[in-house]
Amino acid sequence: MKTRAHAEALSHAPPPSLAREGSRVVLRGDWCLFALRPRLLILRAQLRLQTQHLTEWDLSAVTRIDAFGALLLLRCWGKTEPASVIMSDIQRAAFDRIRNAAHQSLPHTPIDWLSPVRVVGEWVLGAASHLYDFTTMLGLVVLEVLRLVIEPRNIPFKEFSAALYKTGLRAMPISALVGFLIGVVLSYLSALQLRNFGAEALIINILGIGIIRELGPVLVSILVAGRSGSAITAQLGVMRVTEEIDALSAMGVSRHQRLVWPKVLALACAMPLLVAWTSLAALAGGMVCAQLLLDIEWAYFFSVLPNVVPIENLYIGLAKGAVFGTAIALIACHFGLRVKPNTESLSANTTASVVTAITSVILLDALFAMLTRGIGVPLR
C-alpha cells in the first residue's frame, strides 16, 4: 500500500521545468530522478544555456529535489553555487550532502615512487618461490626413482599404464590429423617456391629435415602441453581442492610416488613414440601434396628420403621428444601441486602451466639446436 501511494504521488507531482523571469532563472516542479529521467536531455541543455548568461537562481517553487537533481544542478553550475540562489533549508541540506560525498569520494593519494621497484621485487620473489618448489619436487622425484629401483615391488604400474594410455594412445588421432595437415601445408608452400627454380626434388630434403628433426617434436610437444599438461595440472589441482592429496599424506602414501612419478615416466616414454607417429603422418601429408603438385611418386619419395636425411636426425627428434615430455610433465605437476583450495587458483595455475610448458619447449629446442648444430646435417 505504501509503495502504491508513493507511485500515485509521483504521478501527480508537477513535472520539472525552468523558465527565465527577468534576470533570474526560476525552477519549478519535482526535481527527482523519477521525474527528471524522461526530460533529462532537454533540461540539461536548458540549464547549460541559462548558466552562460544568468547568475540568479530561484528554487523556491521546487516541490522536491533529491541527490540526483542536486548533482545535476551543481554540475551545470560548475560545482560552485551562483552568486544569488534562493532555496529552502531542506534543499540546501541536499546540496551539502552532495558536496560532502564528492569530497569524500576523491581522497588525495600520494604518488608511490617505489611502486615499480615493488613490482619487480614481487616478480623476483615469485620466480624464486617457483624455482625452489620445482627443485624440491624434482629432488623428491629422483629419490622416489632410486627407492623404486631398490624396492621394485612398490612401482605403481597401474598409475603408469593409466597415464601412458591417456597421454599417449588417446593423443594419437589428433596428433596424426594435425601432423598430416601441417605436412600438406609445408609441402604446398615449398612446392610453390621450388617450382620457380626447377628444384622440385629438394622438397624431400625440406620435408625430411624440417619434420623429423624440428617440426615433429615441437608440434607434438605443443599439442601435448595443451592437452595432457593442462589435464595433469587440473587433476592435481582438483585433488588439492578436494583435499585428496592431504588424505594421501595422512595415510603415509607419497604423492610423488603415486601422482608425479608415473606421469613423468609416462610422458617421457610416450613422447618419442608420438613424435615418430606424428612425423610419419606429416611426411605422408607432404608426400601426397608433392605428388599432386610436383608429380613426385611415392616410391621415389621413399627411396630418396633415407639418402638425404641422415639417421642421426631421427635420433635427435626422438631424444627431443623424451626431454620435452619430461619437462612438460614436471611443469604440469609443479603447477598442479601449487594450486590453492579455490577455483580461481585452479584456473590460473592451469593457464600458467600450459604457457610455461610451451615456452620451456621452445627454449629447450633452441638449446638442442645449439648443441646438435653439427650432427645429422648432410654435407651435400
Taking the alpha carbons of 133, 138, 143, 144 in that order, is the dihedral positive or negative? positive
pLDDT in the model for residue 102:
59
**Continuous segment of H or E residues that includes residue 25:** strand 24-31
In a domain, residue 116? The reply is no
* pLDDT of res. 59: 82
pLDDT-derived band of residue 177, with 50, 70 and 90 as boundaries? very high
The CB density around residue 177, as the number of other CB atoms within 10 Å, is 13
Give CA–CA dist 352/349, Å, rounded: 5
Q: Is residue 121 part of a domain?
A: no
More confident: 376 or 125? 125
pLDDT in tens, 70-106: 888 888 877 777 778 888 878 888 877 877 765 555 4
Are 207 and 314 within one domain?
A: yes
pLDDT, position 158: 86
Q: Is residue 118 part of a domain?
A: no
Strands (E), 137-271: none
| Claim to verify: residue 57 and residue 136 sit in the same structural domain | no
Band (358; pLDDT cuts 50, 70, 90): very high
Domain, as residue range, for 317:
127-371
Does 122 map to a domain?
no
Tell me if 236 is assigned to some domain: yes
Is 281 inside a domain boundary? yes
pLDDT of residue 13: 66
Q: Which three cell numbers stand for residue 111?
A: 604518488
pLDDT of residue 2: 46
Do both 100 and 159 map to the same domain? no
Q: Would 363 be classed as within a structural domain?
A: yes
User: What is the count of structural domains for the chain?
Assistant: 2
Of the candidates 105, 140, 166, which is a domain's last residue?
105
The alpha carbons of the chain give a radius of gyration, in whole angstroms, of 36
Whichever domain contains 20, its CATH number is: 3.30.750
171 and 99 housed in the same domain: no
